[in-house]
Amino acid sequence: MLRYITAGESHGQALVAILEGCPANLPLSADDIDRDLARRQEGYGRGPRMQIEKDKAEIISGLRLGKTIGSPIAILLANKSKELFDKPFTQLRPGHADLAGALKYDQKDVRNILERASARETAGRVAAGAVCRRLLQEFNINVSSRTVSIGGAASEKEWKTLIDQAREKGDSLGGIFELMITGAPVGLGSYVQWDERLDGNLARAVMAIPGVKGVEIGLGFALADQLGSKVHDEIFYDKKRGFYHKTNNAGGIEGGISNGESIVIRAVMKPISTLRTPLQSVDLGTKAPVSAHVERSDVCAIEAAGIVGEAVAAFEIARAWLEKFGGDSLEEVRDNFSAYQKRVSVL
């Protein structure tokens, strides 16, 4: 079973991602991971920390002579920005995990909440997802993202202006990003149990990205305003092509199972919670009214959120892939997939 965990704090020594269940003999290098780490740090509206970190992956286990060996893959991402780790604060920040986390874990210093709840942790998810992307590439499955809108504007020409205006005001912006997964065959996921449904697992993974407040697949919420006759994807058959749909309103998933069409996911990310012009709040210790704590942050991170979305989607597709075609080596997985292709092609 493919699974991963991350460890580490935003301004601590390092972040660590551990991916378990990756088959042996997959060609892999730190460069495969570094490319996605660099993409996560890009995008207009990112904060000054992106100029500090320049993440580089160090693969410290699970790899030998350029190939995975079947054991857990551990990836170390050293933090360069560590100067804030020992600086406490108590001015709760609206929109963050500060209040709920401090009450849940019985903490008096909100730094203990910020350090793990920070979106910096998503660098670990991107590292693990990059390994999954490398596996999917062996089978011509591609995961990509694009920004749909920022601050309500769909035109790229308006985005920089809106971000600049928000920066000048000490404010922030959210938006919508879209994920596209191409090349996934029919049969990933299942309707047999709720936690095996591919759409459910993808939605959960994307919803768990910090700041994401809404996820839809295919036409999503727009389906509520349409007749069934207008939205369900009619099925056709061609001897060369096999079964196919002319439309893809379902977003590539029906009954919790991939149907062979492109998988399309969109997510809404709220405006960044940390504001340079802080909102009113309360001090955790004194209970007195205060302005919220201000930490180094972004103005807008929609493009980066799309890269994180790619990573978590790649993981979920790779996990479903290995559940369907699993094996202990890349060669065994390839053989299992080839046998499945032959069976499906004669139906």
Query: How far apart are alpha carbons 187 and 21 in whole angstroms?
Result: 20
pLDDT value, residue 52: 63
Q: Cβ distance 16 to 74 under 8 Å?
A: yes
Residues of the chain with pLDDT under 70: 48-53, 346-347
- Which residue range(s) make up the domain with 83? 3-345
Residue 315: CB atoms within 10 Å: 27
3-state helix, strand, coil in the chain (%, to 5): 35, 25, 40
Task: Write out 221-263 in H/E/C secondary structure.
Answer: HHHHHCCHHHHCCCEEEECCCEEEECCCCCCCEECCEECCCCE
pLDDT value, residue 46: 81
The sign of the torsion formed by the CA atoms of 131, 135, 136, 142 equals positive
Domain total of the chain: 1
**CATH number of the domain to which 313 belongs:** 3.60.150.10
pLDDT value, residue 138: 98
**How far lies 302's CA from each of 42, 76, 88, 210, 299, in Å?**
10, 25, 29, 11, 10
pLDDT value, residue 347: 66
Closest to 305 measured CA to CA, from 207, 224, 220? 207
pLDDT value, residue 50: 57
pLDDT value, residue 240: 86
pLDDT value, residue 296: 83
pLDDT value, residue 297: 87
Query: How far apart are alpha carbons 338 and 38 in whole angstroms?
Result: 34
Query: How far apart are alpha carbons 168 and 162 in whole angstroms?
Result: 10
Residue 61 in 3-state DSSP? strand
Q: Where are the alpha helices (DSSP H) in 271-327?
A: 302-325
β-pairing, 212-217 with 263-269? antiparallel
Closest to 270 measured CA to CA, from 151, 167, 135? 151
Sequence-ordered list of residues with C-beta below 8 angstroms from that of 220, at least 6 positions apart, any chain: 251, 266
Q: Where are the alpha helices (DSSP H) in 97-219?
A: 98-105, 111-117, 122-137, 156-169, 198-207
Residue with tokens 């910020």: 114
pLDDT value, residue 335: 98
Q: Which tokens belong to 190?
A: 């299942």
Query: How far apart are alpha carbons 203 and 220 in whole angstroms?
Result: 11
From first CA to last CA, the distance across the chain in angstroms is: 29
